[in-house]
Structure 1
Amino acid sequence: MHAAATIIGDVTLGEHVSVWPGAVLRGDRDAIVIGAETNVQDGAVLHCDPGMPCRIGARVTIGHRAVVHGCTIEDGALIGIGAIVLNGAVVGAGSLVAAGAVVGEGEVIPPDSLVVGVSARVRRPLSDEQRTRVRGGFVTYVKLKELYRARG
């Protein structure tokens, strides 16, 4: 976790999770649980309401300035820069929520989907190239975390 990130309340981080500068994880109203090797990038906000915990799977990328609120993000998904995922939504494993997209309350996104727009809609299944990029995106941030840790 970067010194300029803020973690409050009931927050559980899995092994090799990285939380970058300016990110805010507020587990003050319910739990936030983040799986192994997930990265929460600069300026992202994770929060929840009572009865609406925030569950983030393993190897997830949460992009810069994304807002993830009281929802479930399954393993290997990528939440793009500035995207918003609201209470009760479920983003399926391996899905890509495009930059700036808004996934509304209670929406369920199938696995391996490309999701775009406001309000977000599934455009199509991911291409093989997109699937490879989404599933491998977390690796860069695991390596960066280790590099920065080694530098002190």
Structure 2
Amino acid sequence: MPVILPVKEIHPKWGEKCFIAPNATIVGDVTMGDNCSVWFNAVIRGDVNSITIGNDSNIQDGAVIHATYLKAATFIGNRVSVGHNAIVHGCEVKDHVLIGMGAIVMDNAIIEEYCIIA
């Protein structure tokens, strides 16, 4: 079973037809749209700020999605793919973006539509 936990009584929520791998972790203030997938060993940690993930996006194996305490929430748009072992932290990733395997996107970065981050 995936680890899905509230933080300060805020529970993660997601839309229809989402897949969450058995050992994925999703905690706190996390909202995901429809048709999303969160793969093995991925962590989405909305403990210190909110994380929003749009429709048809996928968080691949070992990726970490986090936010910055009191400064930067994390927003991931529609049809975004966050590659294996990537880190997305306190930033905005707009629609139709590929965050490549092992890439790191940090606080206050804005990734525009149709970009590839390697």
Give the alignment's TM-score, normalised by structure 2: 0.82
- 2:45 alignment partner in structure 1: 26
Amino acid at match of 1:76: H
Report the alpha carbon displacement of residue 51 of structure 1 after superposing the two structures with TM.
Answer: 2.4
Amino acid at match of 1:54: T
- Structure 1 segments unaligned to the other structure (5+ residues): 99-152
Report the alpha carbon displacement of residue 3 of structure 1 after superposing the two structures with TM.
Answer: 1.5
Cα distance in 2 between the residues matched to 1:13 and 1:20: 14
Structure exhibiting the larger radius of gyration computed from Cα positions: 1
- 1:48 alignment partner in structure 2: 67
Amino acid at match of 2:89: H
- 1:68 alignment partner in structure 2: 88
- 1:141 alignment partner in structure 2: none
Report the alpha carbon displacement of residue 48 of structure 1 after superposing the two structures with TM.
Answer: 0.6
CA RMSD after TM alignment: 0.5
- Structure 2 segments unaligned to the other structure (5+ residues): 1-19
Cα distance in 1 between the residues matched to 2:71 and 2:49: 7
Q: Which has the higher relative contact order, 1 or 2, with Cα contacts under 8 A spaced 6 or more apart?
A: 2
Cα distance in 1 between the residues matched to 2:114 and 2:23: 29
Cα distance in 2 between the residues matched to 1:62 and 1:86: 14
Count of aligned pairs: 98
- 2:57 alignment partner in structure 1: 38
Equivalence map 1:95-106=2 (5 Å): 95-98=115-118
Amino acid at match of 1:19: V
Cα distance in 1 between the residues matched to 2:48 and 2:91: 13
Runs of 4+ in 1 over 3 A off after TM superposition: none
Cα distance in 2 between the residues matched to 1:13 and 1:7: 11
Cα distance in 1 between the residues matched to 2:71 and 2:28: 15
Cα distance in 1 between the residues matched to 2:54 and 2:22: 20
- 1:115 alignment partner in structure 2: none
Query: Per-residue displacement from partner, 1:40-82 (whole Å, max 9, x unpaired)?
Result: 0000000011221000000000000000000000000000000
Q: Structure 1 or 2: larger strand share?
A: 2
Cα distance in 1 between the residues matched to 2:64 and 2:87: 5
Amino acid at match of 2:41: G
Counting aligned pairs with the same residue, the percent is 48
- 2:30 alignment partner in structure 1: 11
